[in-house]
Chains A and B, each alone.
Chain A
C-alpha cells in the first residue's frame, strides 16, 4: 500500500487558519490500512481541529467524508454536492488523491493533511516498511524476491557494501542489511552461486528520473 503519516497539527492548522468552513475528506484504501487517513483518522482530526479553533475563540464548520478512493474520478465526484459549502478541502489521502481533488475542483483550495511516505507492506500491526520503489523494471526475480532498490540504503545491485554489520545497515540498527537478507534467501533456495552473477548497471529511464510516468491501455481507454 501507499503509506502516509498525519502532518503535524501546527502545519495543518496554519494552512486553514483563515477558513471558517472545511470539508475533511478521507480515503478508504491505503491510508486506512496504515491508519493515517481513513474514517477514524478523519474523525480524530476533525475533533482536534474543532478543539483548537474553539479554544482560540474561532468557529469552524467541519464536514467529514470518507471516499472509497480518492485516486479515481468517479469517487472524487461524490464530494461535488458538499464542496460548495467549504472554504477549503483538507484531504487525508495520499498525494495522488489530493491532486485528483484539485484536478476536479479547480477553484477550490485543497490542502494535504498527511505526508505521503512510501510503497510498503505491513510487517505486523502498527508497523509498515518500505518495499517497492517503482523502478519500472522489476528485478525481484534476480534477487530471490527481495528488492535492493527499495531496501538498500545505497540501492546497490551488487551489494553488500563494507558497512554491513551484524545483518544491519550502516545507516541504522533499525534497518536490516537487505543484501544479508538476499544472501540468506539465496542460501535457503540453494542458489547461492547466483550471487556472483553481476547485475549490470540499471537503466533508470524507466524510473521517475525518466520523467513523470503514464500508462495507457488503448483497449481500455475511453
Chain B
C-alpha cells in the first residue's frame, strides 16, 4: 500500500507569506516538499475560482497565506481573502468535500518559523483527511 503523499497548494502573498517561506528556507527549517508555493502579489488577488480549480485538479489541500490582520500591503486584501475562503468552504461543504481542505493563514515577513510550522501541520492534517475525493475518483477512472 503506497503511503499517501498529499499535494498542498499554498498561495503566498509576495510581501509577507512568500518572504516568510523564503526565510524558512534560509533558516534551513524543514518544511514538507508536499507544499507547492504559488507566489501572488497579495492574498486578495486569489480568486474563489483559483481555490476551486486547485481542488478540482486534484490538490488535496489549499492554503491561502497573507499578511497579519491590519498589515496588508494593499490595505485589506487579506480580509477579502479570508471572506472568500469562508465562502468557498461553505460551497465545499454543500458538495460533500471537507471544508478543512481549504484554509486561510496569516503571518509577517519575518516569521520563517511560523511558515514552516504551518506547512508541517497543515500537511499532516491533510494526510489524516486522506486523498481529495475528487482526485481519487479521477485516478480510478484513469486506472480503470
Measured CB to CB, the residues of A under 8 A from B are 8-10, 13, 40, 43-44, 47-48, 50-52, 54-57, 59
Contacts and interface: CB of A to CB of B under 8 A. Distances in A.
12 contacts: A8-B94, A10-B94, A40-B49, A44-B52, A47-B49, A47-B52, A51-B52, A51-B95, A51-B97, A54-B56, A55-B95, A57-B141
Contacts, number: 47
Contact of A51 (B47, B49, B55, B141): B55
A3 to B, nearest CB: 18
Interface stretch (B6-14, B33-41, B112-120, B131-139): B131-139
B48 A44 contact: yes
B49 A55 contact: no
Nearest to A126: B83
Interface string B123-143: 000000000011011101100
B56 A50 contact: yes
B138 A54 contact: yes
Interface residues of B, number: 19
A48 B133 CA distance: 13
Given A10-B94, A44-B91, A48-B91, A54 B134 contact: yes
A48 B52 contact: yes
Nearest to B88: A44
Contacts of A8: 94
A47 B136 CA distance: 16
Given A56-B137, A57-B141, A51 B48 contact: no
B140 A47 contact: no
B91 A43 contact: no
Contacts of A59: 141
Given A55-B133, A57-B140, A47 B53 contact: yes
Given A9-B94, A10-B94, A48-B91, A43 B49 contact: yes
Interface string B25-37: 0000000000000
Interface string B53-75: 10110000000000000000000
Which one of B47, B49, B55, B95 has the highest number of Cβ atoms from chain A below 10 Å of its Cβ? B95
Given A9-B95, A55-B134, A59-B141, 5 more contacts: A8-B94, A48-B95, A54-B56, A55-B133, A57-B141
A15 to B, nearest CB: 15
Nearest to B49: A43
Contacts of B52: 44, 47-48, 51
